[in-house]
Structure formats: structure tokens, C-alpha cells
Amino acid sequence: MRMIIFGPQGSGKGTIASRLGAKLGGIPHVSTGDMLRDEVKRGTEIGKNAAPIMNQGGLVPDSVVNKLLEDRLAKDDAKNGFILDGYPRNITQAHELETKYKIDAAVLLDVPVWLLLSRLTNRRVCRKCGEVYNLVNLRPKVEGVCDKDGGEVYQRDDDKEEAIKERFALYEKVTMPLIEYYRKKGILKQVTCDKLETTPDQNVAAMLSVLGVEG
Ligand code: AMP
């Protein structure tokens, strides 16, 4: 299964994609946002150039992201499939992806705006491993500490209000046409999540169902 997961920031798609990958035979969840944050953390040339763009909620140049992704998907664990999260972000990236892979499904996680805002302002991330938490429905067992590796659980700079506004505007302008693009190709599936109390596992089950896979 080679698939893309779409959803606005705060839709919980990262958490869902990780769990979905495990259910789909262990295919990796590949997040270009996580990869870029890793570059920033390691202080690489890519990271240094990307950091200011990311902090302002802009898009890192296609050439940079395309190369990062190409190298990631060439790894052994992606041989039998992958779940892309955060890529493609525009039609140019979608075309680039198509030159290399046949995509089986694009799943849109449809979440209303009020729920997104609640999720975003409550989202916290582990500084070490990137595990995502939410202060409303997915709290770490100990406040401020990652369940997985004990890392510091913090609020990302790009989850702050100004960056969020820019990202919403970008999502509408650039990403929505992609949803139409995959709808026209006939591979778009949709899962609606409009309740704050819906758990990531319930969303994963709904995804498996629209993909026609037994949970
Ligand atoms: P995300 O975690 O997917 O929200 O990504 C965080 C930030 O990384 C975005 O706001 C962008 O600045 C950058 N980014 C992630 N994926 C891409 C992409 N496919 N193309 C360009 N920039 C990206």
C-alpha cells in the first residue's frame, strides 16, 4: 500500500498515520515535517535554511523536500509501501511523486475548524522522538515527559498563533487543489472526524474501513 494521508494541521494525522502503518504490515509513516525538524535539530545545512521558513509557517523549497523524500523512500523499509504525511504539499510535488511511484490511495481526514483549533493549541511534541500528544485527549502519563523515551514534551514554535494562521491560509490555497487532484484520479477516500472525544484508534479503524482493509 502506497498512500498519502491528507488533513489540516491539528487533524491528528501524524498519530493516526503511525498507528495505521503498523496495521498495514508495518509500512513506515513518512512525515516530511518530522524529517525537516530532524534536520533542524541536527543543525545540518538543510536544517539551517529550513528553520526560519518553518517557524513562519511557509513552505520549504520543493527541490529540498523532494530530495529528502527520494532518499527516505529508497530505504529498505519502504519497499512494500509507505504512508506519506505532509507530502505532497502542492501540485509540483504531486507530479514529482508520480514520476517515481504509483499511489494506491489518498485519504482525507476531514475535521471541522473548531476542533482543529482546540487540537493545535493543545498539541505537544516530544523534543527527542517527535511523539505527538494532546492535552485534551492524549496526555503523556507524566506531565511534560514523553511516555516513550522520557524526552521533554513541548509546544512547537509553528503551533503558535501567527504561524497557525499562515498555515491555515496555505493549506486552503495550496493543499485543497491536491484533494481535488486525487479525487479526479478516483483514489480519494474520506474519513470525517467531528467529535473531540474520538480517539486516534477510532480514526485508524475508520481509515482501515474506507481502505477496505480488515482491522
Ligand atoms: P508539518 O509537520 O507537516 O506540519 O510540517 C512542518 C513544516 O515543515 C511546514 O510548515 C513546512 O514549513 C515544512 N514542510 C513539511 N513538509 C513540506 C513539504 N512537503 N513541502 C514544503 N515544506 C514542507
CATH of the domain at 197: 3.40.50.300
32 Cα nearest atom in ligand 1: 16
| Lowest mean per-residue pLDDT among 61-70, 78-87, 135-144, 154-163 | 154-163
Residue 168 lies in a domain: no
Q: Is 89 a catalytic residue?
A: yes
Residue 164 lies in a domain: no
Structure confidence at residue 136 (pLDDT): 81
Enclosing domain of residue 28: 2-111+174-211
170 Cα nearest atom in ligand 1: 10
User: Per-residue DSSP letters for 80-112?
Assistant: T-EEEES---SHHHHHHHHHH----EEEEEE--
Residue 140 lies in a domain: no
Q: Is 42 a catalytic residue?
A: no
The total domain count for the chain is 1
Given a cut of 80, whether residue 184 has pLDDT beyond it is: yes
Q: Is 2 a catalytic residue?
A: no
Whole-number average pLDDT of the chain: 91
Residue 121 lies in a domain: no
Tell me 62's DSSP state. Answer: H
Do 140 and 153 contact (CB within 8 A), yes or no? yes
Residue 160 lies in a domain: no
Residue 150 lies in a domain: no
Given a cut of 80, whether residue 150 has pLDDT beyond it is: yes
Picking from 103, 107, 104, the residue whose alpha carbon sits closest to that of residue 94 is: 103
Nearest CA to ligand 1 atom 14: 33
